[in-house]
Structure 1
């Protein structure tokens, strides 16, 4: 069994839980309120800014030139998707990014960046994979079940498209290649990072539906 197959088997319950989230169900049937989708888009913009940095760091730290090129391309593509896809929805909703990271977005991006900076690069690459893989699988599920004239069809088409699929397959293949060169102890670290990011993926979708905010604190407790 490939290492990537072991990874997916481990997080199958998490992925199944993703598909049961109200955000996913309502996005699929087109009933997701615009304010929840827009909140998600803004958080995703903030997320992708840091995700692209973590991808770039993985590329810079890679031992293989092919891996370096792949991850730098991934980083560039993440920025391109944000500017094109998100920009269109912001124009449609006459909005922009006017909020800070939610607690979940903050936790997720800090986990990825700290892993990219402080852990072995193999572990960082495993931590980056769920965003690719779960999005691809969820995107295909939504695409196959979406109602006609879904108001979020452009988003659905992007993550179910062939260009994104090729990137996902490349990221999976690199993870398998790297895992094959690592000792069992490092593969356990990679597994742990992959599972943690998968849990944060679930939390990200859920927090968008909840339009999660930071707990309000007394003014005297907030640093100047």
Structure 2
């Protein structure tokens, strides 16, 4: 069994919990309050800036040139392409200032940057994978199950359920499987720990948006 198959089985219950979150279900039917989505978009924009740097660190440290090119490309996409999407949302939803980084985002990005900088590069690759994989799975789920017409969040749904994003996700999964197969059992265990931690941080990020969780 591939590492990716093993690790997904570890977080399947967490993933199912994500699908049942009010933020996700209300996003799917279009009833999510505007202020919660505004908070989410502002924090996600901040997150992507740091996520792009974490991806660039993985690319710089990757042993295989193919992985280096892939993760540097992912970094450029996170910072440039997806940030442009958020800029259009800022106009659509009247977000004029993304504000400061709040607790859930702060925790997540510092975990990613410290892991990609200081742990084995294989562990860093595993840490950034849930942001690809879970977002894609959630986007696909919403796209297939949403019955709302004129959903104000349809652009987000289309982005994370699109074919282009799916290709990037599969590339990231394949890279993780390849390095996992070549590394030690100790590093593989740390990869799994990092993947699980990032999955829980994904959950917390959405929950914090729904709760409008700020420092005070």
Could you say whether these structures have the same fold, taking a TM-score greater than 0.5 normalized by the shorter chain as the test? yes
* Correspondences of 1:1-224 after superposition (within 5 Å): 1-146=1-146, 147-215=148-216
Query: Unaligned stretches of 5+ in structure 1?
Result: 216-224
Deviation at 1:149, TM superposition (A): 1.4
Aligned to 1:222: none
Query: Unaligned stretches of 5+ in structure 2?
Result: none
**Offset from partner CA, 1:69-111 (integer Å, 9 cap, x none):** 0000000111233332111111112323332111010000000
Deviation at 1:148, TM superposition (A): 2.0
Which secondary structure does the structure 2 equivalent of 1:180 belong to? helix
Deviation at 1:120, TM superposition (A): 0.4
Which secondary structure does the structure 2 equivalent of 1:166 belong to? helix
Q: Which has the larger radius of gyration?
A: 1
CA distance in 1, matches of 2:97, 2:46: 8
Q: Does the CA contact (< 8 Å) of 2:139 and 2:161 recur in 1?
A: yes
Q: Does the CA contact (< 8 Å) of 1:42 and 1:96 recur in 2?
A: no
CA distance in 2, matches of 1:37, 1:98: 12
Q: TM-score under structure 2 normalisation?
A: 0.97
CA distance in 2, matches of 1:183, 1:83: 37
Q: Does the CA contact (< 8 Å) of 2:48 and 2:83 recur in 1?
A: no
